[in-house]
Amino acid sequence: MSTVLLVGGGGYVGSVLAQELLERGYAVRILDRLYFGDHGLTGIRDRVDLTVGDMRIVSPALLDDVEAVVNVGGLSNDPTAEYNPKANYEMNMTASVALARMAREQGVRRYIYASSCSIYDRGVGDEARDVLLDEKADVDPPGAYAGSKLAAERELLEMTSDRFCVAVLRKATLFGFSPRMRYDLVVNTFVKDALSKGYISLHFGGEMWRPLAEVHDAARAYIALIRADHKVINGEIFNLVYRNFRISELAMRVRAALNEIDVPVEIRTDYSYRGVRNYRVSGHKLDRVLEVAPEVTVEESVQTMVKEIRRHNYTDFDSPRYYNIAWMKLLQEAQGVIQVTGSVFDLPKGAKPLREVGS
Ligand SMILES: NC(=O)c1ccc[n+]([C@@H]2O[C@H](COP(=O)([O-])OP(=O)(O)OC[C@H]3O[C@@H](n4cnc5c(N)ncnc54)[C@H](O)[C@@H]3O)[C@@H](O)[C@H]2O)c1
């Protein structure tokens, strides 16, 4: 049985990918710091080989018998990367490259890196730059997150050889249900807002373009990269895109899908500028080279999402757990408090409760 190491295998993408790999008979090893808990591993916890640890400190033994490493770990959006650019760079760039070097030394044959279409972001306001971009496009991404992804890609793609295959998957913004749920991704946010508030908010008139893809389609693309002939993917970048949507069209599609299942929703639009992202990306190379074409529609995914959210009781929509930046800030604040209190409810180590003093 081939073993795949998933770095970040407890995350939004990682937990869906772990499930899909298990279904195809792979042995799945996971390295994850479990920042968001282990909900993502519900139902598969006893079928994966889990190491709870940090990708910045990896023991070579973790790579024993591993056929492929898929690195879907690290900080995974703009706000968390801007919040702590140092940690972001350490994880998304330095550790990702160091892990690839270690993998190569340990005889692992394949390393697949999770990158992002946000590398293509060109902002709003310059229509001449508003064109469909492919893997060959010149990129100069603003911000810590996309910058770290691009820097890692460049280092990693230098490492290819006949014996070590590196491929990069630049994923569009994902949508869909995952057992480690995120409500900070645009379609998922719309669904959450519809269920919790009855309306969807469109900023900047919703005129921005965004490439989108469903999370199971992302998992299937990774599996295609794990299975593909080395020569076909080695040193290659692939975009994963189902379709490009204006955010306003996306909102209307989400509303129509929700209305069909009797979830009423209103669309509220404001025209203020809020640092929006805007880019259109071609996913044709993945289809042309690997015959992988994302197929899950927004409408289908939205309806499944509602069912799964209800089935898993992920209806505590305000919980920071579902929003990466809110959760990371909360964890850091809690860490500061616990450094002072020692623990939450237990007494500090060695202390005796009052009633026992003198007894
Ligand atoms: N979700 C998307 O829409 C999207 C789009 C494009 C690219 N990506 C990229 O795909 C990857 C997965 O994204 P996601 O949505 O699953 O994110 P996620 O935040 O849900 O998952 C990341 C996982 O990595 C783990 N992790 C973080 N830092 C770690 C560390 N130092 N050591 C070990 N584990 C660590 C977390 O605990 C979490 O389980 C990320 O690299 C992200 O940048 C995601």
In percent, how much of the chain has pLDDT > 70? 98
User: How far apart (Å, rounded) are the C-alpha atoms in residues 319 and 192?
Assistant: 12
Average pLDDT, rounded, for the chain:
95
Around ligand 1, the residues with Cβ closer than 6 Å are 8, 10-14, 31-36, 54-56, 72-74, 76, 91, 114, 116, 171, 173-174, 180, 182, 185, 324
Q: What confidence score (pLDDT) does residue 127 get? A: 73
Tell me the CA–centroid distance for residue 315 and ligand 1, in Å: 22
Flag whether 320 is in a domain.
Answer: no
Residue 162 buriedness (CB in 10 A; 0-12 / 13-18 / 19+): exposed
d(CA 224, CA 4): 13
What is the reported pTM?
0.96
CA atoms within 13 A on the CB side of 118: 21
Residue 91 DSSP class: I
Compute, in angstroms, the gap from residue 262 CA to the centroid of ligand 1.
Answer: 33
pLDDT for residue 282: 97
Q: How many domains does the chain have?
A: 1
Phi, psi of 219 (to 5 degrees): -60, -45
- Which of 30, 76, 174 for mutating ligand 1's site (highest number of atoms within 8 Å of CB)? 76
Q: Which residues pair with 118 in a beta bridge?
A: none
- The SS3 assignment for 307 reads helix
The answer, yes or no, to whether residue 277 has pLDDT greater than 90, is no
Q: Domain of residue 63: give its range.
A: 3-181+212-243+276-296
pLDDT in tens, 19-33: 999 999 999 999 999
Identify whether 193 is part of a domain. Answer: no
What CATH number has the domain bearing residue 21?
Answer: 3.40.50.720
Distance from C-alpha of 136 to C-alpha of 117, rounded to nearest angstrom: 13
Residue 343 domain flag? no
- Confirm whether 347 is domain-assigned: no
Ligand 1 atom having least distance to the Cα of 15: 16
Question: Quick check: is 269 in a domain?
Answer: no
How far from chain centre, in Å, is Cα 99?
A: 19
pLDDT in the model for residue 122: 79
Tokens for 23, please give them: 């279904």
* Residues 215-274 pLDDT 10s: 999 999 999 999 999 999 999 999 999 999 999 999 999 999 999 999 999 999 988 877
**CA 40 to ligand 1: nearest atom:** 39
Q: Which residue has the higher pLDDT, 202 or 130?
A: 202
**pLDDT tens digits, 88-145:** 999 999 999 999 999 999 999 999 999 999 999 877 777 767 789 999 999 988 899 9
Q: CA-CA distance, 240 to 262, in Å (whole number)?
A: 32
